[in-house]
């Protein structure tokens, strides 16, 4: 130790703490992106070329996508719809000077397994004319929520919103009472009735409602077209417009709507594409799954 360090050991300690903080920040920035899995229902994380900056825009399939800066340039985080055709795809960039460029990437083919379920209420499988009218009204509200886009910079790593085993994976090709239905657009966590549901990341409550299929449901806006939803709740503990911090209580697990038992359906929408929420889980949460 030199004389200055010997006289003022607190300076050396402070300098070391500063270096450690910088190292942690760099590590966090590198760790914060979701997993790159360019398949239908997955996420493509793409490096963007200079001069892409905060004044530039990126679009996929005609919709704006989430972009974030990093130490080595900008990245696009692109949600790929479950129905997207595998093969060559492109991201459309528009720079501040008005020039454009396409960034090509490949969406790999992927086959999701099949799940067969029996629903006791036949109206939840083949809705009546009256139920269909309700569903149509609700679908307009749900589409508007998924297409909502705020300027907030979103979090890109999430914790689990409920504790319990994973009972249904994302993307399952569902057969209800012997009839094929739409693929499963989220993950199901088999938590018990009344178990707490908490915010997995910061955001703002976008919409709450009671829907035919999803029951008591909360939509949370995280920014730049990243929206999460929490379905089949027995209780809703938030109001529209309410800011949320990680760990804030959203509601309680239930079985409202079309459900075979208590569980939380957790969904994630990115640029109006429903994608696998597990791609956004922190490493320790992924290990638990």
Which residue from 268, 283, 284 is spatially nearest to 42, judged by alpha carbons?
A: 268
Assigned CATH topology for domain 114-288: Glucose Permease (Domain IIA) (2.70.70)
Q: What is the pLDDT of residues 254-284, one digit of tens each?
A: 999 988 899 999 999 999 999 999 999 986 4
Full strand arrangement of the beta sheet holding 66-70: 43-47, 73-79, 66-70
How does DSSP assign 50-112, residue by residue? TT--TT-EEEETTEE-EEEEETTEEEEEEE--TTPPSEEEEEEEE-TTS-EEEEEEEEPP--P
Split at pLDDT 50, 70, 90, the class of 233 is: very high
pLDDT at 20: 37
Are domains 43-107 and 114-288 of this chain identical in fold? no
- Where is pLDDT greater, at 89 or 178? 89
The region of weakest confidence among 53-62, 87-96, 116-125 is 116-125
pLDDT at 179: 62
Rounded to an integer, what distance in angstroms lies between the CA atom of residue 215 and that of residue 190? 16
Backbone angles phi, psi at 137, to 5 degrees: -65, -45
- In this structure, are residues 226 and 239 in contact, taking their beta carbons and an 8 Å threshold? no
Split at pLDDT 50, 70, 90, the class of 11 is: very low
Residue 6 has pLDDT above 50, yes or no: no
Averaged over 185-203, what is the pLDDT? 97
pLDDT at 57: 97
| For the chain, domain boundaries | 43-107, 114-288
pLDDT at 25: 35
- In this structure, are residues 264 and 253 in contact, taking their beta carbons and an 8 Å threshold? yes
Residue 27 has pLDDT above 60, yes or no: no
Q: What is the pLDDT of residues 200-232, one digit of tens each?
A: 999 999 999 999 999 999 999 999 999 999 999
Split at pLDDT 50, 70, 90, the class of 178 is: low
pLDDT at 4: 43
- In this structure, are residues 13 and 20 in contact, taking their beta carbons and an 8 Å threshold? no
Q: What is the pLDDT of residues 134-149, one digit of tens each?
A: 989 999 999 999 999 9
Residue 132 has pLDDT above 50, yes or no: yes
Question: In the predicted model, what is the mean pLDDT of the chain?
Answer: 86
Split at pLDDT 50, 70, 90, the class of 12 is: very low
Residue 281 is classified by DSSP as B
- In this structure, are residues 201 and 158 in contact, taking their beta carbons and an 8 Å threshold? yes
pTM of the predicted model as reported, rounded to 2 decimal places: 0.84
Which residue from 72, 46, 70, 69 is spatially nearest to 59, judged by alpha carbons?
A: 46
Assigned CATH topology for domain 43-107: Immunoglobulin-like (2.60.40)
Q: What is the pLDDT of residues 78-120, one digit of tens each?
A: 999 999 999 999 999 999 999 999 999 999 999 997 766 666 6
Q: What is the pLDDT of residues 157-172, one digit of tens each?
A: 999 999 999 988 998 8
Residue 187 has pLDDT above 60, yes or no: yes
Residue 18 has pLDDT above 60, yes or no: no
Q: Which residues contact 19 (CB under 8 A, 6 or more apart)?
A: none
Split at pLDDT 50, 70, 90, the class of 186 is: very high
């Amino acid at each position: 130790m030199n004389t200055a360090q010997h006289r003022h050991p607190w300076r050396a300690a402070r300098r070391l703490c500063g270096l450690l903080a910088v190292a942690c920040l760099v590590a966090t920035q590198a760790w914060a992106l979701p997993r790159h899995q360019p398949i239908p229902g997955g996420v493509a994380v793409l490096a963007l070329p200079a001069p892409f900056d905060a004044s530039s825009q990126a679009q996929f399939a005609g919709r704006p996508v989430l972009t974030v800066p990093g130490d080595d340039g900008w990245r696009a985080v692109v949600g790929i719809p479950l129905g997207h055709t595998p093969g060559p795809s492109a991201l459309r960039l528009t720079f501040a000077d008005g020039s454009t460029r396409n960034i090509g990437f490949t969406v790999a083919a992927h086959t999701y397994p099949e799940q067969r379920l029996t629903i006791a209420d036949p109206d939840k499988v083949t809705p009546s004319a009256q139920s269909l009218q309700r569903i149509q009204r609700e679908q307009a509200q749900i589409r508007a929520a998924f297409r909502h886009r705020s300027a907030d910079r979103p979090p890109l790593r999430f914790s689990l919103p409920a504790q319990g085993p994973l009972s249904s994976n994302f993307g399952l090709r569902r057969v209800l009472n012997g009839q094929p239905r739409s693929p499963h657009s989220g993950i199901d966590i088999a938590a018990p009735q009344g178990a707490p549901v908490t915010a997995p990341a910061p955001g703002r409550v976008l919409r709450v409602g009671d829907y035919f299929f999803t029951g008591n449901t909360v939509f949370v806006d995280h920014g730049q077209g990243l929206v999460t939803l929490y379905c089949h709740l027995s209780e809703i503990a938030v109001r529209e417009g309410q800011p949320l911090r990680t760990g804030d209580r959203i509601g309680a697990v239930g079985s409202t709507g079309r459900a075979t038992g208590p569980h939380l359906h957790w969904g994630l929408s990115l640029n109006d594409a429903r994608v696998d929420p597990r791609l956004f889980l922190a490493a320790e949460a992924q290990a638990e799954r």
